[in-house]
Structure 1
Amino acid sequence: MNGARWLVQALAAEGVDTLFGYPGGAIMPFYDALHGAATGEHALKHVLVRHEQGAAFAANGYARASGQVGVCVATSGPGATNLVTGIADAMLDSVPMVVITGQVSTALMGTDAFQELDVFGMMMPIVKHSFLVRRVDDLPNVVAEAFRIARSGRPGPVLIDLPKDVQIGDASHLPAHAPRPVDEASRPIDASLHAALALISQAQKPVVYGGGGIALGDAVQAFRTFVDATQIPTVLTLRGLGALPSEHPLNLGMLGMHGSRAANLAVQEADLLIVVGARFDDRATGKLAEFAPNARVVHMDLDTCEIGKLRHADAGVRGDLPTTLTALTLPCAAHLHGRNGAARRSWRATCQQRARDHAARYDAPGDTVFAPALLKRLSELAPQAVVACDVGQHQMWVAQHWRFNDPRQHLTSGALGAMGFGLPAAIGAQLQQADAQVVCVSGDGSFLMNVQELATLRRYGLPVKIVLLDNQALGMVRQWQELFFDKRYSEIDLSDNPDFVAVAQAFGIQALHVDRRDQVEDALQALLAADGPALLHVAIDTAANVWPLVPPNHNNAQMLDPTDTEAEARTTNPSPTAEDSRHAISA
């Protein structure tokens, strides 16, 4: 029983059944310990990806789809550096992960040994906690704390950097691993609940603003009960989608840069924002100084640091979200249906009428494939599907047009906006839910960033269905260059893309191609009916844009849509700042 074998048993004791990784020199004792671990009472399945970034994103997708801790493994040096993007994504989107990296033996640390890097220091800004294990005897505490920290409070990734000599050291004297319970979520204090209730009872134009914290806090049912009881119009962030079903009569849609007109106008005119598990991200708020200018704020969140960070909270309610929402539901409903009831009913009717008036249209002219219509139809054909998105225009079209009924159906790189996320995240989700329908929606730019994971799909026979929207460009960057850089298109041309159908077939994956809308229905039916993994390559117009769009340095009421002329776009929307331009890539 050496340290590596003890660690394998500890992972099984923590409930880990699947981990994603790629072997190498410094982590080889751990891989030796994994030999045969896929069988037995506590089987531990290792999934060999084809790039360490794929391992981090797959563990990330596994965790997002389930709420369980995702685990990935890599060797020292380049193995660890290749994990960085996936770990940063987990940190910024609060995804629970434990990351295990090999390290050179402790005697060689600091000598610039082969494949030695300061992984502990390198990872510190992008993890909740870093552990460098220097002795075998430290393993029980490190592993228990790593999983406890990853799960507790606001979830996130934790690093275990494991020197080779610790992996091979004698561990026969160590006790069997005992998982530690997560920290109990704090309950909101009564004074904060009273303050929130007072503000809500006075509001005439309230709006509920829900975010990703609803799913993270297991508060979906409590959130829906609160909205149903209070009958307050509701808007959702990108990562809050599904917290309220898309077809719910009070759901005005996503707010923000590519949000719905009904959602953005409601927020801008509201006299109270009831913010639940959201953080006033710049993509949601637009120009922060002009965001919801007439609204007071009730901010509910588990993380004290988020309350008042970007927008003053007139009533900050820190604590467990299900407890908070449950405590407020009946008192708020009683107040809202009493005083100011007529004003609130009128406000609700106005918001709902706007949602009808500005509902998305799917009757675009021409014979080419209209991506929003295709995605809407696919969501109708696969209503329970888990959707893993890459980043770009297709990501926003999915957010706008897919009918989500649960937030864990929607796996998307929100805060980091990492291209290459979609395919490995879909792999992780499929391995977590073997019977689920998992769909990856990608773009031609994003897809080539982790295309090698098609080999992982094939090896494990995972029935992930891929919809590849190919506009032969970096679409979101091209759209910004069209609107805000006087059509000076710089390094966005992907017209030399490979034949994606042939690429998929080369990996042993069946593939179809469509380029006309009259082909879409049959192609979608065939894609979903395919046995095993399959790819649908969809050629779309290079000039297609995502609408509506809130330009940089504008408030959310100042949306552009296709009716705006080129001249209006240039004169009313000055060029973005350097920071705006940088963010455009991840929009």
Structure 2
Amino acid sequence: MNGAQYILKTLQEQNIRTLFGYPGGCIMPLYDALADSELEHVLCRHEQAAALAANGYARASGRLGVVVATSGPGATNLVTGIADAFMDSIPVLVITGQVNSHLIGSDAFQEVDVLGMTMAIVKHSYLITSANELESTVIEAIRLATSGRPGPVWIDIAKDALMGEMTTKSVIKPTNSHEKEHNVDLTSLQNAVEIIKKAQRPLLYSGGGVMSANALDEFRTFANQLNIPHVVSLKGIGNPGLYGALNLGMLGMHGSRACNELIAQCDALIAIGVRFDDRATGAVKHFATNADIIHIDIDPAEFHKNKRVSCTLRGEMKSILRRLSTAFLSTLNIQPWRNHCRAMKHQKGLIPQNLSTDSNTIAGPEFLTALSAVKKTRSIISCDVGQHQMWVAQYVDFDHPRQHLSSGGLGTMGFGLPAAIGACFARPDAQVINISGDGSFMMNIQELATIRRHQLPVKIIILDNQHLGLVRQQQELFYQGRYSAVDLSDNPDFTEIARVFGFHALQIHNRSQIGPALDTLLSCQGPAMLQVHINTDSNVWPMVKPGGANHEMLEPEQFNGSAA
């Protein structure tokens, strides 16, 4: 067996069934071996899209995503999708071909230093120059990608190593660099329990780490047992479930005013699987200043990185949450605080920005509120990046975090369509909806061909305001309305393009068309597209001024237009 055949055999033995990729010269031996393999290969039409499809596959399923590409531009085109996975802690295995080992370092055709180029966007990377190195490397790479804090791992393989015969066994032993399970410090655990017990105004703050740890059941048990009001980050949306007690919604730059003000009022903040990133905290020195903060995470690099906290609990999240739950025999005695949080949510929670009844113009929040009411409960929604992404976070309900696929840390335009493709292969039983903007959609529009080839029943919704909406909003509010490079009014008719690819496609301009259009879209058996024309000047409200404090959110009626 040669190196390429060994890789595919090992992937099958590790219960991996689907690869996303694009062939080329130096990875050709692997594609030759694929012809005799039972693995399913999904040919995307750009390597960036292949990486994002593997990313979406992993997000929707919790399993390892795998992407394959060739050397040079094949590898460089993967970088954005892999950086996206790294920022959001998504397990992806990257396999690229490299020039023959004797040519490495000679500036050979399509040679790029992949190891050096990708060091900052992967958990670990390998350069393989001999087939015998693969036996230990592939297994270790899979373990590294999926263990501890998940993330991408990259294997760059010289072409002659792919073609070379496997002649020995275990020439290179697996290293000890993989994460080990960490037992939580008992003193820290007791400290956390005491902070929670004495709190009169506690809040839970959860993020994507709950999903990454597959600790959703333990998290919900803990939250419901103590009955603590709960806020989420963008990646934590869905953690409380549709019927989670005291779910206050998303905090941060475009979160709810109730969440941001309650963070400022709380006296204990239990932060579970979060990074305290700037979009969530705003000006971090003003974030939760009255609270003792407990930070639970598997990665010690996150502790005190952005926000100093009172107590850190490092370890396997399921175990930590179980142990915290057993420390409390009943719910906390904080009923006045619960009542206050409910009142704040009712008073200052998000209200769909429906336009006046005499206007036929469609508002993005109104449309997405309607979609949320009619989509299937277990639908997977894959967002692109922009105003529509924030409106989805604000107005669409999710019962599980794996139903909401959104590029959090990197903010990758063009993420949504290939991620939806990945979700279709990960969850063929689910209704998969891609919500995009007219800017983001053009980033990976070529993947309509991938959808057509596999007849994936993706439902694409484009909220079309003929602008790069979030950039235009920032220019309007903080750059004195000096609009620069945001006009997309010369975009093509997306429905005509979709029909060429065999999609059922329609577009709407008026509010009265929302209900019938959604019924038509969601009832289609195959791929379908709905282009929704919305106001050009619609903004996402409320918002925190960049660099501002979260509790000082701006509303349209109070914004004074002062420059940043």
When normalised by structure 1's length, the TM-score is 0.93
Count of equivalent residues: 559
| Partner in structure 1 of residue 194 of structure 2 | 198
Structure 2 unmatched ranges of 5 or more: none
Alignment partner of 1:307 out of 303, 306, 328: 303
* Residue 479 of structure 2 is aligned to residue 490 of structure 1: no
Deviation of the 1:330 alpha carbon? 3.7
The answer on 1:161 being equivalent to 2:156 is yes
1:290 maps to 2:286: yes
**1:219 and 2:219 matched:** no
**How is 1:423-442 mapped onto 2 (pairs within 5 angstroms)?**
423-442=417-436
CA distance in 2 between counterparts of 1:127 and 1:489 reads 37
Alpha carbons 2:542, 2:553 under 8 Å: kept: yes
C-alpha separation between the residues in 1 aligned to 2:348 and 2:524? Answer: 36
1:399 pairs, out of 383, 393, 399, with: 393
Query: 1:65 & 1:205 partners in 2: Cα distance?
Result: 34
Contact 2:355 / 2:361 at 8 angstroms: preserved in 1?
Answer: no
Q: Is the 8 A contact 2:136 2:174 kept in 1?
A: no
Q: Which residue of 2 aligns with 1:582?
A: none
**Counterpart among 332, 337, 340 of residue 347 in structure 1:** 337
Is 1:81 the equivalent of 2:71? no
Give the SS at the match of 1:159.
strand
| Equivalent residue, structure 2, for 1:6 | 6
| Whole-Å separation in 1 of the counterparts to 2:217 and 2:501 | 42
Q: Could you tell me which of 402, 414, 436 is aligned with 1:408?
A: 402
What is the match of residue 26 of structure 1? 26
Asked whether the 8 Å contact 1:212–1:240 carries over to 2, the reply is yes
1:371 partnered with 2:360 = no
- Name the residue aligned to 1:318: 314
In structure 2, how many angstroms separate the alpha carbons of the residues matched to 1:420 and 1:179? Answer: 37
- For the structure 1 residues 91 and 474, does the alpha-carbon distance in structure 2 shift closer, same or farther, using more than 3 Å as the test? same
- Range that drifts further, 103-112 or 367-376: 367-376
What residue is the counterpart of 1:528 in the other structure?
522
C-alpha separation between the residues in 2 aligned to 1:225 and 1:85?
A: 37
Q: Which residue of 1 aligns with 2:504?
A: 510
Q: Choose which of 338, 346, 354 in structure 2 pairs with 1:356.
A: 346
Map 1:72-111 to 2 at 5 A: 72-111=67-106
**C-alpha separation between the residues in 1 aligned to 2:166 and 2:210?**
41
Q: CA deviation at 1:506?
A: 1.5
Q: Which amino acid aligns with 1:128?
A: K
Q: Provide the residue aligned with 1:556 in structure 2.
A: 550
| Equivalent in the alignment of 2:136 | 141
1:77–1:116: 8 Å Cα contact kept in structure 2? Answer: yes
Given the alignment, which residue of 390, 408, 414 partners 1:420? 414
- Structure 2 CA distance, aligned partners of 1:347 and 1:165? 66
Residue 546 (structure 1) aligns with: 540
Deviations 1:143-201 (A, max 9, x none): 011101001100000111011101111126558xx999985532312111100011111
The residue matched to 1:445 in structure 2 has which SS?
helix
Deviation string for 1:21-50 (max 9, x for gaps)? 00011111110010032xxxxx20000000
Structure 1 CA distance for aligned equivalents of residues 110 and 326 of structure 2: 59
Letter in 2 for 1:430: C
Residue 248 (structure 1) shift:
2.8
Please name the residue that 1:578 is paired with.
none
Q: Give the Cα–Cα distance (whole angstroms) in 1 for the partners of residues 325 and 261 of structure 2.
A: 25
1:66 maps to 61
Amino acid at match of 1:266: L
What's the CA shift string for 1:241-271, capped at 9, x where partnerless?
A: 0000244341100000000111111101111
Using the TM superposition, name which of 242-251 and 231-240 deviates more: 242-251
User: Does structure 2 conserve the Cα–Cα contact (< 8 Å) formed by 1:22 and 1:55?
Assistant: yes
Q: Secondary structure at 1:457's aligned position in 2?
A: helix
- Contact 2:205-2:269 within 8 A present in 1 as well: yes
Report Cα offsets for 1:191-235 as digits up to 9, x if no partner. 111000111111111111111101111111111111111111110
Cα 1:114–1:516 change in 2 (3 A) is same
Unaligned runs of 5+ in 1: 38-42, 576-587
Distance in 1 between residues matched to 2:9 and 2:325, nearest whole Å: 45
**Preserved contact between residue 387 and residue 410 of structure 1 (Cα < 8 Å):** yes
In structure 1, how many angstroms separate the alpha carbons of the residues matched to 2:319 and 2:6? 39
Q: Distance in 1 between matches of 2:556 and 2:242?
A: 24
In 2, Cα distance between the equivalents of 1:15 and 1:508? 33
Question: Aligned equivalents of 1:376 and 1:10: distance in 2?
Answer: 45
Whether 2:246 is the aligned partner of 1:255: answer: no
1:331 is displaced (CA, Å) by: 2.4
Q: TM-score, normalised by structure 2?
A: 0.96
Give the aligned residue type for 1:426.
Answer: A
Contact 1:384-1:409 within 8 A present in 2 as well: yes
Check conservation: 1:307, 1:316, Cα contact below 8 A: yes
Aligned residues of 1:504 and 1:510 also touching (Cα < 8 A)? yes
Within 5 Å, which residues of 2 pair with 1:256-271? 256-271=252-267
Distance in 1 between the 2:462 and 2:36 partners? Answer: 37
Q: Match for residue 584 of structure 1?
A: none
Of residues 316-325 and 92-101 in structure 1, the stretch that sits farther from structure 2 once superposed is 316-325
1:355-385 Cα deviation digits (max 9, x unpaired): 1112332332221112112212212222211
Write the letter of the residue equivalent to 2:31: Y
CA contact (8 A) 1:148 1:180 kept: no
1:4-37 CA distances to partner (integer Å, 9 max, x unpaired)?
Answer: 1111111111211000000011111110010032
Deviations for 1:78-104, whole angstroms, at most 9, x for unmatched residues?
000000000000011000011001100
- Using the TM superposition, name which of 60-69 and 303-312 deviates more: 303-312
Q: Does 1:242 align with 2:235?
A: no
Partner Cα distance (2:84, 2:115) in 1: 18
| Residues in 2 aligned to 1:195 and 1:392: alpha-carbon distance in whole angstroms | 41
Secondary structure, aligned partner of 2:327: helix
Secondary structure, aligned partner of 2:155 = strand
1:36 pairs with 2:9: no
SS in 2 for 1:26: coil
